[in-house]
Structure 1
């Protein structure tokens, strides 16, 4: 099982207490490319995956 799949499974399992957003409120590929250009860095693929799947999230403590 990939590390990404393991992470997503954990998020799915604890979704009632964790809300990390969804692809619908994630930055576009164009926005990520613009950010990389402006910062003069190449973001790691794992971070881009996180941004495009879970950006906008919050952690709820109960």
Structure 2
């Protein structure tokens, strides 16, 4: 690890206090990643739904 990287790690983004416990860090990372993945999937579903509506309204016009 590069010198000084651990000092600047954004622990708060993972929702944990600064720690050297690799298991805790990995678990917090996995949980945060799952939240982001769920949000991205939800956004994709909404975009597809909107695109479908737009395509239907263009064909109907």
TM-score of the alignment, normalized to the shorter chain, above 0.5: no
Q: Greater share of strand residues, 1 or 2?
A: 1
Query: TM-score range with shorter-chain normalisation?
Result: under 0.3
Is the radius of gyration larger for structure 1 or structure 2? Answer: 2
After TM superposition, the score normalised by the length of structure 2 is 0.25
Q: Which protein, 1 or 2, shows the higher relative CO under an 8 Å CA cutoff with sep ≥ 6? A: 1
Q: Greater share of helix residues, 1 or 2?
A: 2
After TM superposition, the score normalised by the length of structure 1 is 0.25
